[in-house]
Amino acid sequence: MVRPFSGETRLGDDMKGTYWVCEPVGRMIRCSDVEYEDGMITLHNRLEKQKLEFISSTDANFRPVNAYTAPDGTLHFIDMYRGVIQHGNWTREGSYLRSEILRRGLEKNIGKGRIYRLVRDGIKPGPLPSFGKSYANDLVEALGHPNGWWRDEAQKLLILRNEAKAIPLLKRAVKNAKSGFARAHALWTLDGMGVWDESLVLSAISDKDMDVRLAALRVSW
């Protein structure tokens, strides 16, 4: 699974915009830098020159499968921690892999998943959210938060609550919010509520931010 780190700078400015690749078969986690060229996106291992991975393990049960940005701006890795993940055709009775699995007792290692939390020395994690009783204007404001978790959660709650009083706030945010993140999320939120209009989309198509323009095109489909 490949995940972008959408947090603030709680892991340091040098981690902003990185992509994280979890490889359960190779038992490693890679930190990748992103390169945009001629409309193509390429990921480069940050530790390629050192011929290293950000995390690698000789533990046969280490199976990193996903990475998530946490509300406090840190990064969480999900380790399935399981001895056997191969397809059954690879481990048929009499095969080399089957004999190795049985010899090491790997088939017994189940139900032991782990979560690792990545923090950086000297940088305190950010505050925890309290969206349960947030007003519509608070949620609209959170659409511009530097941490992607906050933006996604605010968008989800606005759509689920579907409050009429949020609509003018969202329309204003599409046109006037300072953050491109906020303008794009506001447009997607209106789409999720089923209340966007043509004039708003036409305005967003001419936005200076590429992500807002792309959102406008997708919404207009």
pLDDT, tens digit, 9 for 90 and up, residues 20-38: 999 999 999 999 999 988 8
Q: Supply the pLDDT for residue 123.
A: 86
Cβ atoms 84, 24 nearer than 8 A: no
Which parts of the chain sit beneath pLDDT 70?
1-5, 7, 9
Which of 126, 193, 129, 128 lies closest to 155, judged by CA?
193
43 contact partners, CB below 8 Å, separation of at least 6 = 2, 19, 21, 32, 33, 34, 35
Q: Supply the pLDDT for residue 3.
A: 65
What tokens does 221 get? 């489909």
Are 161 and 74 in a shared domain? no
Per the domain annotation, does 131 fall within a domain? Answer: no
Are 6 and 110 in a shared domain? yes
Cβ atoms 55, 100 nearer than 8 A: no
Are 39 and 113 in a shared domain? yes
Are 107 and 180 in a shared domain? no
Identify the domain containing residue 150 by its residue range: 136-220
Of the three residues 118, 152, 182, the one that is the final residue of a domain is: 118
Are 111 and 143 in a shared domain? no
Q: Supply the pLDDT for residue 48.
A: 95
Q: Supply the pLDDT for residue 113.
A: 94
Are 101 and 143 in a shared domain? no
Of the three residues 62, 83, 118, the one that is the final residue of a domain is: 118
Percent with pLDDT over 90 in the chain:
65
Are 170 and 203 in a shared domain? yes
Are 140 and 112 in a shared domain? no
Per the domain annotation, does 80 fall within a domain? Answer: yes
pTM: 0.83
3 state DSSP class of 14: helix
By the 10 Å C-beta count (0-12 exposed, 13-18 middle, 19+ buried), 54 is classed as middle
Are 114 and 141 in a shared domain? no
Q: How far apart are CA 121 and CA 117, in angstroms?
A: 13
Are 105 and 149 in a shared domain? no
Are 48 and 113 in a shared domain? yes
Are 51 and 113 in a shared domain? yes
Q: Supply the pLDDT for residue 14.
A: 87
Distances 37 to 41, 121, 181, 214 between C-alpha atoms, Å: 7, 34, 22, 17
